[in-house]
Amino acid sequence: MDEKGCIRKFLFLSKRYLWKDLRVKLVASEESHCGEGVLFIKKKSGKSGDSSSASETFSYASLHPYSSFVANFEVFGKMYGEKDALHEINKELFLKKMKEWGVEVEGLPKEE
């Protein structure tokens, strides 16, 4: 990840996504079998990319599996080798970088 976007690697495939082309949504632990994380979903072409509901977002993601991916936040206190998810990232560092790079993260509590 950098200020322009991120690269998703899967097996021998690699794809670069620009932040302007992605929606970034927090996923609560009760919505994901792997715990709290973040959903990256490619914006629908010809639309603003804003969806009104989580179910619409997950429905689109399931119909277009190469247009979305998930990174889960680390769960501290786990023993080495106990990861439940393939991609675990540090939540505080991730949110700090998203703010620094001006990337909107849906689902964040509003700052007062």
- The model's pTM: 0.70
59-98 pLDDT, tens per residue?
A: 555 555 567 888 888 876 665 555 555 568 889 999 999 9
**Counting every residue, how long is the chain?**
112
12-25 pLDDT, tens per residue?
A: 888 899 999 998 98
Q: Would you place residue 52 in the very low, low, confident or very high pLDDT band (cuts 50, 70, 90)?
A: very low
Query: Tokens 């997950």 map to which residue?
Result: 58
Q: What is the DSSP letter of 50?
A: -
Counting beta carbons within 10 angstroms of the beta carbon of residue 13, is it exposed (0 to 12), middle (13 to 18) or buried (19 or more)? Answer: exposed
